[in-house]
Amino acid sequence: MTAVPAGRRRGDDEPAVRQVTEDLVLVEVGGRKVLAAALCPHRGGRLKYGRVDGDRLRITCPLHHTTFDLSSGERLSGAACAALRVVDVLPGDLTVPERRDPAHDEAPAASAPGAAPSGGAS
């Protein structure tokens, strides 16, 4: 049995991939967070099911096994002709906010329907 250091749970360093928008996945590995395209550029494999190599910061598509460097998006092996779109490599302590829907944001009071025009005489 392998000892686990105090204050840590088994699996804290294991890579995690989660869908954050329709187009993006967040890959968390080794204290780093990478926002990347959710679909492989080869045949649209869903990278949230991909295999992550945390030691080398790589992800492999589950469909045809194309491997990409998560730092640059460069295709390292496999059938894809294009690189993976990597949006950003984020510091590990950053919290990625949930996606907001601007349609539900309130309009500023001055432009709200029925608001009195500013600077005009009544």
Using CB atoms within 10 Å of the CB of residue 111, give its burial: 0 to 12 exposed, 13 to 18 middle, 19+ buried. exposed
Give residue 88's pLDDT band: very low, low, confident or very high (50, 70, 90): confident
Residue-averaged pLDDT of the chain: 76
> Global pTM?
0.64
**Whole-number pLDDT of residue 72:** 93
**Whole-number pLDDT of residue 74:** 95
Q: Are 46 and 61 in contact (CB under 8 A)?
A: no
pLDDT at residue 15 tops 50: yes
**Whole-number pLDDT of residue 35:** 93
pLDDT at residue 110 tops 70: no
How far is the C-alpha of 94 from the C-alpha of 96, rounded, in Å? 6
Q: Which amino acid is at 33?
A: K
- Domains in the chain, CATH or no CATH each: 16-91 (2.102.10.10)
Q: Are 25 and 47 in contact (CB under 8 A)?
A: yes
Q: Which amino acid is at 69?
A: D
Structure token digits, residue 23: 């187009």
Q: What is the DSSP string of 1-40?
A: -----TT--TTTTS-EEEE-SSSEEEEEETTEEEEEESB-
Q: What is the DSSP string of 54-105?
A: TTTTEEE-TTT--EEETTT--EEESS-SSPPPEEEEEETTPPPPPPP-GGGS
